[in-house]
Chain A
């Protein structure tokens, strides 16, 4: 922490504009002018010196924690110093009795029960129980999350439903979309048309009440619901997921473009982006696209990359590559032959193969 704090505050802390935007989103009545000095104070001294006034208010401290959480989510990166600050404010707010902070802290401890002492776990259980008895909304969500993490779908659905009863539509928008998304996910996993329809309603409500970045999973699951019956709708939803870098979406969208919309160029682009995230199936899709569009050089390179990747992968991934290479043996042989023929043609025309490589490769070259 101390080494992290030595970095200049201006370098690690986000702009005032972003903080203001987040405060507006969180519907706060505290301004950035009030809280940024506190962040600076913590950064420079390692703790808050003055605990009177605004810094002694548990709600403000919890708000400061949420601001840092939002910064992490929006910038999609985590800074050690900001992480320390986030935890510091959470603990401080919890110590001052902020119920939301206590709930979140309890979740952290109980979710990682093995990494914490028995005393801590027992104490957190007691605190959470007390909050649940008071019907505190976030405590209910946290209990649902804990059940969800230990694969108890029915229990978690029960707690989430209880949360929705307490927090009706249009109130307290921060946690509601998350709960809706989780409930939708649980219904979706059950399968069957009626459950999928209920899940769809949850996802649509989650999408309607939050921003895209907060409910990417809802978009993805919705696309899965529509993929077999309304591929155009599924494509739009998957494209939205891809804008947020949702790894699963790239290969699905790539396959949809290649198999249904027959747009190999677009499919190739989606697979390329998927490959940048090291999604294995995107490699397979890209190889197929290259073969179909007779880009032997690219197909050969993908094959070579897969060969290189195979020993580095573990378990299922390694097996998957092996299976792919085995199934596509004939195609691979053809790719090797065509690739060699391409090379010979190029050499005969007096153009070096490296030049052709440069010409053909894009910024995502393998």
Chain B
């Protein structure tokens, strides 16, 4: 019966004033908003003490890497920039460069196809509601939670499998021109095979268009949105891998619950991913996040604007910190006073995510954790100084 009570609590909760995002309007406003957020305090300390370490893409995954799924994510730098041609005579530098890049690309394509295929064959079926329930109500007796890596791979990245036939066909028909095709139509490429420019195109499409300036999120379910809003929302969610034509078909034939279910699934995926990430961050072990994993986190959560090039940002030491702080402020806003899976088991006080925000509260998707803008380079001194 306790779940019933939880629903009633949510019902009351919806009318109460919600927690507010961190305010970047002024120094005082920021200090005031961050003081009330214990999660921000905890996470910012971890950033400053280098508990969260960012490592380049070419970091070789070691056994037991529970966080990064590099084999499913595109590189943040191109192969050209890594080539050392100092020993090559200048007259054959260009052909040597392109031959080497070509070889690496072919190897990358082959590995990606093989990995995605293997993933598809071995991936267990994941029930997002069940996993969310386990995350929130899990006790010491319950089954161990999946690692973040296996979760993201089995829940979402495995869906790249459907691109394999077209991708292989392109490789056979167009051979080396496939790379050009993937630049023009990046959506046909397996995500791992995307080039820098192709990725930029994709990221532009899913960027945060406008910030919701409401002070705190009001409870909103997917059922309160009209058809246009639902389609717009679904098309803006990178984490949703369902083909876009299906949305239009469902909307046209008014298939009951389908669009709403898709929104909820994506929301639940993000909540679970956030929780697992937070669990890893708050654990005693130091967290090593690869550049492409950080970029993917930012992309899926829409913590960037259209004009920002994520790959460029993550490869620059200063803007890399901006991305990290954006992720931290996002997690702090959502999980302030929320039980993480670790604390849940130890029985500490706090609310579950669903109790705090309500059941499938899609209004959260509008909130990046800070107002009125995302964290920019000039906010960094303020963020570091406040701790």
A229 and B14 CA atoms in complex are apart in Å by 17
Instruction: Let me know if A193 and B4 touch, CB within 8 A.
Output: no
Restricting to A201-244, which residues have a CB under 8 Å from any CB of B?
224-233
The tally of CB-CB contacts under 8 A between chains A and B is 70
Q: How far is the CA of A354 from the CA of B257 in the complex (A)?
A: 40
Rounded to whole Å, the gap between the CB of A334 and the closest CB of chain B is: 16
> Contact mask B1-38 → A, CB, 8 Å, 1/0?
11110111011001000000000000000000000000
Most A CB within 10 A of own CB, among B11, B14, B134, B359: B359
Residue of B nearest to A232 (CB): B257
Q: What's the Cα separation between A227 and B268 when bound, in Å?
A: 14
Q: Please encode chain A, from 188 to 203, with 1 for each CB lying within 8 Å of some chain B CB and 0 for all others.
A: 0101111111000000
* Stretch of B65-73, B125-133, B292-300 lying at the A interface: B125-133
Distance in Å: Cβ of A172 to nearest Cβ of chain B: 31
Contacts of A263 in B (CB 8 A): 223
Q: Is the CB of B7 within 8 A of A230?
A: no
Near B by CB (< 8 A), chain A positions 229-266 give: 229-233, 252, 255-256, 259-263
- Are A193 and B139 in contact (CB-based, < 8 A)? yes
A252 touches B224 (CB 8 A): no
Q: Are A228 and B354 in contact (CB under 8 A)?
A: yes
Interface size class of B (residues with CB under 8 A): 20 to 34
CA distance A225 to B221 in the complex (A): 19
Pick the contact of B142 from A194, A225, A229, A260 — CB < 8 Å?
Answer: A194
Contact present for B3 and A224 (CB under 8 Å) = yes
- Per the bound structure, the CA–CA distance linking A192 and B133 in Å amounts to 10
**Overall SS of chain B's interface:** helix
Chain A hits for B354, CB < 8 A: 228-229
Q: Considering the complex, which residues of chain A in the window 244-300 have a beta carbon less than 8 Å from any beta carbon of chain B? A: 252, 255-256, 259-263
Query: A residues within 8 A CB of B1?
Result: 189, 224
Which residues from chain B contact A195 at a C-beta distance below 8 Å?
141
Is A228's CB under 8 angstroms from B11's CB? no
Which one of B4, B137, B223, B224 lies within 8 Å of A196 (CB-CB)?
Answer: B137
Determine the distance from Cα of A232 to Cα of B223 in the docked complex, in whole angstroms.
11
Q: Is the CB of B11 within 8 A of A229?
A: no
Main secondary structure of the interface of A (DSSP, over half): helix
Please determine whether B142 and A197 come into contact, CB atoms closer than 8 angstroms.
Answer: yes
B384 close to A (CB within 8 Å) = no
Query: In the complex, A80→B386 CA distance in Å?
Result: 79
Residue among B1, B7, B221 with the most chain A CB within 10 A?
Answer: B7
Kindly state whether residue B138 has any CB partner on chain A within 8 Å.
Answer: yes
Alpha-carbon gap, A263 to B221, bound state (A) = 12
Contact flag A228-B139 (CB < 8 Å), given A260-B221, A262-B224: no
Determine the distance from Cα of A220 to Cα of B12 in the docked complex, in whole angstroms. Answer: 23
Evaluate contact between B6 and A228: CB separation under 8 angstroms. yes
Contact with A along B117-160 (1 / 0, CB 8 A): 00000000000011011101111011100000000000000000
**Contact between chains at B142 and A193 (CB < 8 Å):** yes
Complex Cα spacing A167 to B132, Å:
35
Cβ-based interface call for B360 (8 A): yes
> Which residues of A lie under 8 Å from residue B50 when comparing CB positions?
none
Q: Are B359 and A193 in contact (CB under 8 A)?
A: no
Q: How far is the CA of A135 from the CA of B203 in the complex (A)?
A: 68
Shortest A216–chain B CB gap in Å is: 16
B261 within 8 Å of A by Cβ?
yes
Which residues from chain B contact A230 at a C-beta distance below 8 Å? 129
Known A-B contacts A255-B11, A262-B223; A232 and B3 likewise in contact (beta carbons under 8 Å): no
Closest to B128 in A: A229
Give the shortest distance, in Å, between B69 (CB) and chain A (any CB).
25
The CA of A231 and the CA of B2, in the complex, are separated in Å by 16
Residues in chain B near residue A233, CB distance under 8 A: 129
| B141 pairs with A192, CB closer than 8 A | yes
Task: Let me know if B139 and A252 touch, CB within 8 A.
Answer: no
Give Cα A197 to B142, complex, Å.
9
- Quick check: B3 and A231 within 8 Å, CB to CB? no
Contact flag A194-B141 (CB < 8 Å), given A228-B133, A260-B221:
yes
A-B contact pairs, 14 of them (CB 8 A): A193-B137, A194-B139, A197-B142, A224-B4, A227-B4, A227-B7, A228-B3, A228-B10, A229-B133, A232-B261, A259-B221, A261-B221, A262-B223, A263-B223
The 7 closest A-B pairs by CB, nearest first: A229-B129, A194-B141, A193-B137, A230-B129, A194-B142, A192-B139, A193-B142
Q: Which A residues form the contact surface with B (CB < 8 A)?
A: 189, 191-197, 224-233, 252, 255-256, 259-263
For the A-B complex with A224-B3, A226-B129, A227-B7 known, give 20 more contacts whose Cβ atoms are closer than 8 Å.
A191-B2, A192-B139, A193-B133, A193-B136, A194-B139, A194-B142, A197-B142, A228-B3, A228-B354, A229-B130, A230-B129, A232-B261, A233-B129, A255-B8, A256-B7, A259-B221, A261-B221, A262-B223, A262-B224, A263-B223
